[in-house]
Structure 1
Amino acid sequence: MSLKFGTSGLRGLVTDLVGEPSYRYTLAFLRVMSERGAPKRVVIGRDLRASSPEIAGLAAAAARDAGFEPIDAGAVPTPALALEAARLGLPAVMVTGSHIPEDRNGLKFYGLKGEITKADETDILSAFEALGPVASESLTPPAGIASSDARARYLQRAVDAFGSEALKGARIGIYQHSSVARDVLAEAVEALGGEAVPFGRADHFIPVDTEAHRPEDLQILSDAAAGGFDAILSTDGDADRPLMADERGEVIRGDVLGLIAAGTLGFDTIVTPVTSGSALESSGLVDKVLRTRVGSPYVIAGIEEALAEGRKGVAGFEANGGFIQGTDAIVDGRTIPALPTRDALLPLLCALVASRKAGVPLSILVERVGAKPAASHRLQNVPGEKSSAFLARLAEDDGFRASFFEGLGQPGAVNRLDGVHVTLSGGETMHFRASGNAPELRCYAEAATPDAAKALVNEGLERAARAL
């Protein structure tokens, strides 16, 4: 079976997930929730993958058999589902594979405090193993499921945050593809007074990754810039990771977008993985940066640590741009309630609002952050054991590491917080790590110019492929 918990929930091949596995994992999750005294209702949402409705039906069947009333939120952004679950004080299940290809899918579980933790995963796996045989009739979804208008409340949160004239005069392109938020993005821009121009709507799932950009997506954004937009907005499949291009069609890095959002919302503390750029500490926009491993559970744990230390305004984000609002924010007298899960809509709107307030194009706003050029990409179909062996050798074998980086710079400091992060003698950095969601080896690099960063990533992946 390909199914396993990664950095964003349970993931695996659709062929391994549909049927009894989806039912059993949801049943196990809800039994854990029942033991913890959760109310006997659960909210279920899904993305636009072809397999997601069937899996959502299996989750509803599991809810029925666990003694929970399933509430159908429909096709909805993951952060919208999390917001609704928090409003109702209920657990939630999101059927999504996020950005990974359509032959895969997944389940994201939310407890009463938000995203489940790594400790929760252990409890779910124990409950899963303890389950007995499943009768075939149990896999039939219940009829007459209650519905929830989570999508409308999520959209209203954005309008309440910034006001109906925040984007007046702005012309915004919306790259819709198969994002579950493709209509929400356009509606949010219009509700804030801007003009939304949707394009690129797809009738099949497209695996848009906000970290490892597909060349075709970059070309689409570059071509769209000829339309005279102030910005172009998009997200990954379940809308917990933003994708934004400036007026030139140049993609804005997720960590830079997160930093701009944190500054716009007045936060003084950032929690972010080691893969985010080094400019966060030097930007002057926040007082403290706490580094973690990659994955929202680690970022959320870091946010809780910062709050325990007495920090008042805390946000987290990853290099992919998923923004986690740890505390309430107040913007122009309006309170934006905390939402402790990755969100794409809020950072996108923050950047647009910041650009309008500053009276400068997005490209200038980004330039002022002072981020060092960076790039990232991946090797696909790399089994986890191969990635682990390569990373261990790169970290522990001095001779191999020196040989691996020969011609690129003398390897210096090595950080093993998550994967292997190496600082080179010329000031460049290169970071390798295994994806927690798919059989992939990812590479991140910072260098003096964008072309140099891309070249460093390409060369690093070529060398890694030979070493695997």
Structure 2
Amino acid sequence: MSLKFGTSGLRGLSVDLKGEPSFVYARAFALYLFNSGLAKQGDKVLVARDFRDSSPEVAANCMGALKQAGLEPVDCGTIPTPALAHFGLKLNAASLMITGSHIPADRNGIKFYRPDGEIGKTDEAAIGAAAELVRADRGTLKFLPGDGEDRGAEAADLFLARNKALLKAGALKGLKIGVYQHSTVARDMFVDVITHYGAEVTPLGRSETFIPVDTEAVSPESIRLMQNWAREHGLDAIVSADGDGDRPLVTDETGTPLRGDLLGLIAALFLGADTVVTPVTSNSGIETAGDYRVERTRVGSPFVIAGMDEARAGGAAAVVGFEANGGTLTGSDFVVNGTTFTALPTRDCFLPVLAVLSRAADQKVALSKLAKDFALPVAAADRLENFATERSAALMAYLRGSAQNLDRFLTPIGEAAETSDIDGLRVTLKDGRIIHFRPSGNAPEMRCYVEAKTEEAAAELLEAGLNEIRNFKA
């Protein structure tokens, strides 16, 4: 069974998750909840899913396992992950999101939520250990799919109400916004919420076939598509999200995507955060872009959540976390527009989208100027797909093996001045450029992140880094 926990949830091939493994892990989650005192017999557990072909079958397997374990599954249908998490917090119920996020359709995954929020790394280990116990006792299991009470509309309405209270009435009036709908479960909510604030909305590119959109490394084909739409419709921005609606995508008026960490930064400023928690992959200019303290973490929402918990324990009162993909988490309550915007410690695409659009509307500036005015170092990122995990491990072992190894690898690129080993290997070169090599935690991919003074220099550095990765011989 080739399933493993990555940066956010359990991931594997769809063909595996459609079978007994998803049943086993859902049963293991039930065992974990019972053993940790987080649930008792008869408690509700929420289940939602994305639009992948495999997701309905995986969801049915999970609901069957939960029911067999003595829990009451609740079917929340196809809603964004943050909507599911928000509903779970309201009901004090654990939940499962069936999604592979941005990875290809031949893969899928399960995200796990305790009644008090997203699981952490220690929880992952406990669920994994419980799965071993369940497999050892599989003779007592009846591998049967199941269903649950349909409360999807209630969960969606609760999340819509949260987002429709964030800005003032008419806050986006005068803006022309495209919504790239593709196959994200956030597609109809985006249209509803943005229209609610007075913008003129144009739905674009709706697909009934799953399209994997990675908001952290937007494909050239997607960029060309959005640039054409921006010109054709005279748009001020295009917004979208990944498959399960927890990572935002926002373009400027030319259809060019804004960096995800800039979206998170603007959300933190919008809320008035006193502490920002973000992974090492986020832009190095964040530290000086606002009046807050910055804590850096490894990549993945569990690490950001742990960092937010530590910040609150240390006395921080207004904590926001975000990742380089733009997914924004709130670790504390905020009072916004006269109402309490309650903490939601899981990635959300709606908060950063609304924060950015409202800032552009308030300042009456184009999004390209809004981004330029922050004067952050130019950052870029991309990935090599189908890069075997064994090869990634060999590359990272080589780079970390000695200073001489790193120097040899970087010979066509530049000289290393300092390194950070928080997650992958982040190298600051002697000329001030930054290059960061990191294996994906969710798929057989190798990622490269760079920073430089100009777009041209960043693009050149990124291509050079990808070439060195591509040509590495284990």
TM exceeding 0.5:
yes
Q: 1:349 aligns with which of 348, 354, 361?
A: 354
Identify which of 114, 135, 151 aligns with 1:147: 151
Using the alignment, how far apart are the partners of 2:461 and 2:250 within structure 1?
23
Aligned to 1:439, the other structure's residue is in SS state: coil
Paired residues in the alignment total 466
Displaced runs of 4 or more, over 4 A: 134-137
Map of 1:45 onto structure 2:
48
Q: CA deviation at 1:8?
A: 0.7
The structural deviation recorded for 1:196 is 1.1
Would the aligned equivalents of 1:161 and 1:335 in 2 still touch at CA under 8 Å?
no
Aligned: 1:230 with 2:236:
yes
User: After superposition, what is the alpha-carbon deviation per residue over 1:117-157, rounded to whole angstroms, capped at 9, x for unaligned?
Assistant: 11111111111111112578532324x63424211211111
Structure 1 match to 2:276: 270
Matching residue of 1:4: 4
Distance 1:417 1:134 in 2: 43
CA contact (8 A) 1:162 1:334 kept: no
1:33 corresponds to: 33
Please give the alpha-carbon distance, in whole angstroms, between the structure 1 residues aligned to 2:155 and 2:302.
23
Answer yes or no: is 1:397 the counterpart of 2:399: no
Equivalent residues of 1:99, 1:208 under 8 A apart: yes
Give, in angstroms, the shift of residue 294 of structure 1. 0.2
Asked if the contact 1:261/1:351 (under 8 Å) is kept, the reply is yes
CA distance in 2 between counterparts of 1:80 and 1:262 reads 20
SS in 1 for 2:442: coil
Q: The residue matched to 1:201 in structure 2 has which SS?
A: coil
Structure 2 counterpart of 1:249? 255
Is residue 174–residue 182 contact of structure 1 (8 Å, CA) maintained in 2?
Answer: yes
Is the Cα–Cα contact under 8 Å of residues 65 and 138 in structure 1 kept in the other structure? no
Q: Which of 62-71 and 94-103 deviates more?
A: 62-71
Please say which of residues 175-184 and 33-42 is displaced more in the overlay: 33-42
Give the C-alpha shift of residue 200 in structure 1: 0.5
- Measure, in 2, the Cα distance between the counterparts of 1:134 and 1:72: 27
- Matched residue SS, 2:453: coil
Structure 1 counterpart of 2:365: 360
Alignment partner of 1:112 out of 107, 115, 120: 115
CA distance in 2, matches of 1:217, 1:211: 12
- Give 1:19's aligned residue: 19
Contact map agreement 1:355 1:365 (CA 8 A) in 2: yes
Distance verdict in 2 for CA 1:374–1:328, change over 3 Å: same
Alpha-carbon distance change, 278 to 105 in structure 1, aligned in 2, over 3 angstroms: same
* Residue of structure 1 in register with 2:393 after alignment: 388
Mapped to 2, the partners of 1:236 and 1:370 lie a distance apart of 27
Normalization by structure 1: what TM-score? 0.97
Residue 202 (structure 2) pairs with residue 201 (structure 1): no
- Paired residue for 1:417? 422
Alpha-carbon deviation of 1:401? 1.3
Corresponding position: 1:240 with 2:243: no
Give 1:259's match in structure 2, choosing from 261, 265, 272.
265
- Which amino acid letter does the alignment assign opposite residue 78 of structure 1? T
User: How far 1:410 sits from its partner (Å)?
Assistant: 1.1
Structure 2: runs of 5 or more not aligned: none
C-alpha distance in 2 between matches for 1:218 and 1:136: 48
1:304-453 equivalences in 2 (<5 Å): 304-453=309-458
Cα distance between partner residues in 2 of 1:105 and 1:326: 28
Q: Distance in 2 between matches of 1:37 and 1:116?
A: 12
**Aligned equivalents of 2:405, 2:338: Cα separation in 1:** 56
* SS across alignment from 1:161: coil
Give the counterpart of 2:71 among 61, 68, 74.
68
Equivalent residues of 2:98, 2:108 under 8 A apart: yes
Aligned partners of 2:53 and 2:210 also within 8 Å: yes
1:44 touches 1:60 (CA, 8 Å); kept in 2? yes
Residues 430 and 443, structure 1, Cα contact 8 Å, conserved in 2: yes
TM-score (normalised: structure 2): 0.96
CA distance in structure 2 between the aligned counterparts of 1:239 and 1:317, rounded to whole angstroms = 15
Deviation at 1:334?
Answer: 2.8
Q: For residue 163 of structure 1, report the CA deviation from its aligned partner.
A: 3.3
1:271-301 per-position Cα deviation (integer Å, ceiling 9, x unaligned): 0000001110121x13211000000000000
In 1: Cα distance, 2:374 partner to 2:337 partner:
22
Question: Counterparts of 2:38 and 2:82 in 1: how far apart (Å)?
Answer: 24
Partners in 1 of 2:366 and 2:140 — Cα distance?
59
CA contact (8 A) 1:314 1:325 kept: yes
Letter paired with 2:265: L
Distance change in 2, residues 1:444/1:338 (3 Å): same
Contact 2:333-2:340 within 8 A present in 1 as well: yes
**Residue identity in the other structure for 1:366:** A
Q: What does the per-residue CA deviation read over 1:179-224, in whole Å, with 9 as the maximum and x for residues that have no partner?
A: 1111111111011121111011111011100112111111111111
How far did residue 363 of structure 1 move? 1.5
1:130-141 alignment to 2 at 5 Å? Answer: 130-131=133-134, 132-133=137-138, 137-141=142-146
User: Identity, % of aligned pairs?
Assistant: 47
What is the deviation of 1:332? 3.2
Partners of 2:77 and 2:150 within 8 A in 1: no
Deviations 1:348-395 (CA, angstroms, capped at 9, x unpaired) = 001011111122121122112121111101111222222122112112
In the alignment, what sits opposite 1:159? 164
Deviates further, 347-356 or 97-106:
347-356
Whole-angstrom distance in 1 between the partners of 2:78 and 2:139: 28
Find the residue that maps to 1:211 and give its secondary structure. coil
Change (3 A) 1:134 1:140: farther
Q: Post-superposition shift, 1:328?
A: 1.4
Distance change (3 Å), C-alpha of 1:169 and 1:121: same
